[in-house]
Amino acid sequence: MALEASICSKCGSKGLVPIGSRKCFCGGDRIVFSITEDEYIKMSDYEKNKMIEEMNIHPLISKEDALTIYNVTHSTEIIDAMIELKQKDIIEYGLKLSQFKSQLDQKRQVNQQEKKQVYCPKCGSTNITAGQRGYSLLTGFIGSGSTVNRCSKCGHKWKP
């Protein structure tokens, strides 16, 4: 796949994108650099930023802020509203942005908890019991061997 170097006029997101990709995730228009993919890859961040400065591109919102808003809302319209708010009332913008960041943190924590959740590989249920099975030569007790998970819904058993 052929790529071209570009920057978003709205959020300043820069990088290599597929040729013909004119819109950024934030809804902004991409401005294509007049350099090849290889030239872009070899450039330092300083050189890239200098080139952007010379092109007189001044993003309306930072890429990080736009990503935060988008990851919470999946809406380019809300990014536009936040840009307007930033221009009118920077303090209110900061407060709203911190709310978006809190929501994103909560979303990430929930995702991490879901990843830690044990699921039955057969039916997907989370109603799992863990027990000991087998005989231990060390202690001589039944049930002190390896741990086995059992699904309470379908009865499937497996080792963790």
**pLDDT tens, 134-159?**
555 555 555 555 678 888 888 888 88
2 in the Ramachandran plot: left (φ > 0), alpha (ψ -120 to 50) or beta?
beta
Question: Is the Cβ–Cβ distance between 59 and 12 less than 8 Å?
Answer: yes
The residues near 70 (Cβ < 8 Å, ≥ 6 apart) are 25, 26, 76, 79
pLDDT for 32 equals: 92
Place of tokens 């989370």: 126
**pLDDT tens, 57-93?**
899 999 999 999 999 999 999 999 999 999 999 999 9
